[in-house]
């Protein structure tokens, strides 16, 4: 089946394209991108004015919770949330029950993904068996079964020695090691960022230094082994400082930042709702200086990717005292509006840079197809509606869980449509109609 996406603004930084182009899709591949392409038997889809056609977004840090925690999310509901959020692919974390340290679990996840047939799923395997930090998991097996990277996410790799071995071993397969950077002794049993708000609210705090220590450890070991090291959910300015130094020295280190870390600060723990457990995540919301440093890093290229760390939790689990609540918030369906509103419309970055952060770089770091609209590339396409007025409504999220601090937020920018392998899996009727009305009004 052929489809021709006609007349949209195409932003494809990998191919240095930012302008009005037509995109011809043949089956599940991109056939051609160019100006004024002939229809040639293809179904023509007029792209309304104002919408932007990009290579499909890839969220490289998502917790799909299956197997074992299906009350929070499943592969089916998670991938549905993904396409609604504009993501054509997600990389899912191994801290399921059982942990994805074994090819059988990997295969199970991929079978579920195939069944759901929505966003692509790239499983990330565990570094160690059970993520206990003692013995390495069967990384080769995990690779063969389909894992694209390894991590013991949820906590840091237990020892420097184990992290070194993991880097060396995974490097053999060209797989990056993704690390939740943290010094456990400094973190202790903290539940918030160590600062004025934790002190006011009587909550135990962890300093940014706890994360930075983990980053520095990883950079040194990456240098030692020559393998790729990726910092998950970076949140502290001290971490960014270490990262820049590492990059300047030529170390193969990359990082991702989650939208809540470049939008919110620890003030959210007190205002508007004190002790709102939807402000509890690890790493925690930090002070303004950290958020501002991350925004600078996003703009100047130090930050490689935006990844949501989508962490669904059931309502009952979060409706408890702050200390007892699990860490994490959902993010798949809020990432694009937050990024468009707070990064692009705020004038910090251009759309092409956003595409790098959400598509080009994640594909490159994970070594998966995507990130471009080149001929022959998979027809994974995200169509943005940058001027759409979006109101986040927790109840209407497609994720099984609704734990978001952004409920009620009014943002400018949303998703118009998501194509995976040439199939339109999500279409936001409102966006399309709104844009059409605009265009009609202008004529």
* Binding-site ranges for another protein (CB under 8 A): 194-196, 198-205, 274-275, 316, 319-324
What are the structure tokens assigned to 275, written together? 């002790």
Least distance to another protein, CB of residue 199, Å: 4
CB of 278 to another protein, least distance (A): 13
Q: Are 413 and 388 in contact (CB under 8 A)?
A: yes
Question: Cβ distance 274 to 324 under 8 Å?
Answer: no
Rg (CA), the chain: 21
CB of 238 to another protein, least distance (A): 15
Q: Looking up tokens 């100047």, which residue turns up? A: 300
- Quick one: 117 or 200, whose CB is closer to another protein? 200
Shortest CB 280 distance to another protein, Å: 10
Least CB distance to another protein at residue 272 (A): 12
Distances (CA, A) of 158 to 95, 131, 163, 180, 211: 15, 9, 8, 11, 14
Coil, helix or strand for 356?
helix
| Helix, strand, coil fractions of the chain, as percent rounded to 5 | 35, 25, 40
> Least Å distance between CB 279 and another protein?
11
Active site residue 309: yes
Nearest residue (CB) to another protein, 261 versus 318: 318
**Catalytic residue selected from 59, 153, 309, 341:** 309
The Cα–Cα gap between 27 and 323 comes to 51
55 versus 328: smaller Cβ distance to another protein: 328
8 A C-beta contact, residue 290 and residue 266: no
- What would the two tokens of residue 10 be? 């195409």
* Beta carbon nearer to another protein, 202 or 441: 202
Q: How far is the CB of 160 from another protein (least distance, A)?
A: 22
For residues 14 and 10, give the distance between their C-alpha atoms in angstroms, rounded to a whole number. Answer: 12
- Name the packing angle between helices 75-84 and 103-116 (round to 10°): 50
Q: Which is nearer to another protein, 27 or 188 (CB)?
A: 188
Tell me phi and psi for residue 180, to 5 degrees: -85, 100
Residue number, 245 or 324, with CB nearest to another protein: 324
- Spatial strand order of the sheet with 305-306 comes to 57-62, 87-92, 120-126, 149-151, 177-179, 229-231, 253-257, 305-306
Give whichever of 62 and 191 is closer to another protein, judged by the CB atom.
191
Q: What span, in angstroms and rounded, lies between the C-alpha atoms of 262 and 342?
A: 8
Which residues in 163-252 belong to E strands, given as ranges? 177-179, 192-193, 205-206, 229-231
Tokens of 129: 């068996």
Contact 221, 160 (CB under 8 A): yes
Between residues 271 and 442, which has the closer beta carbon with respect to another protein? 271
Residue 320 C-beta: closest distance to another protein, Å = 5
Catalytic positions, please?
309
């Amino acid at each position: 089946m052929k489809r021709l996406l006609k007349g949209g603004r195409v932003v494809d930084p990998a191919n240095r394209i930012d302008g009005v182009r037509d995109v011809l899709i043949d089956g599940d591949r991109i056939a051609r991108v160019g100006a004024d392409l002939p229809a040639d038997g293809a179904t023509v889809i007029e792209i309304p004015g104002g919408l932007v056609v990009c290579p499909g977004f890839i969220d490289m840090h998502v917790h799909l919770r299956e197997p074992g925690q299906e009350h929070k999310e499943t592969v089916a509901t998670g991938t549905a949330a993904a396409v609604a959020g504009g993501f054509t692919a997600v990389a899912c974390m191994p801290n399921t029950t059982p942990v994805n340290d074994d090819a059988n679990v990997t295969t199970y996840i991929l079978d579920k993904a195939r069944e759901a047939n929505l966003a692509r799923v790239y499983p990330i395997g565990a570094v160690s068996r059970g993520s206990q930090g003692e013995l390495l998991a069967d990384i080769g097996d995990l690779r063969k079964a389909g894992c694209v990277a390894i991590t013991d996410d949820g906590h840091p790799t237990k020892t420097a020695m184990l992290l070194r071995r993991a880097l060396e071993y995974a490097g053999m397969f060209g797989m990056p090691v993704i690390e939740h950077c943290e010094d456990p002794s400094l973190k202790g049993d903290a539940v918030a960022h160590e600062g004025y708000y934790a002190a006011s609210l009587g909550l135990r705090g962890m300093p940014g230094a706890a994360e930075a220590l983990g980053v520095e450890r990883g950079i040194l070991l990456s240098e030692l082994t020559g393998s790729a090291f990726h910092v998950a959910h970076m949140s502290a300015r001290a971490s960014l400082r270490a990262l820049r130094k590492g990059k300047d020295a030529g170390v193969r280190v990359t990082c991702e930042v989650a939208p809540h870390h470049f939008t919110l600060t620890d003030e959210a723990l007190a205002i508007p709702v004190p002790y709102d457990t939807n402000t509890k995540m690890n790493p925690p919301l930090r002070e303004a200086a950290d958020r501002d440093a991350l925004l600078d890093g996003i703009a100047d290229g130090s930050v490689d990717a935006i990844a949501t760390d989508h962490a669904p939790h059931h309502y009952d689990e979060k409706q408890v005292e702050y200390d007892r609540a699990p860490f994490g918030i959902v993010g798949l369906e809020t990432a694009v509006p937050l990024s468009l509103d707070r990064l692009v419309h705020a004038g910090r970055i251009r759309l092409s840079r956003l595409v790098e952060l959400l598509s080009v770089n994640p594909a490159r770091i994970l070594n998966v197809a995507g990130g471009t609209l080149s001929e022959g590339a998979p027809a994974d396409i995200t169509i943005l509606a940058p001027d759409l007025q979006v109101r986040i409504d927790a109840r209407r999220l497609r994720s099984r869980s609704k734990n978001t601090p952004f409920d009620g937020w009014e943002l400018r920018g949303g998703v118009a449509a998501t194509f995976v392998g040439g199939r339109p899996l999500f279409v936001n009727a409102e966006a399309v109609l709104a844009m059409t009305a605009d265009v009609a009004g202008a004529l």
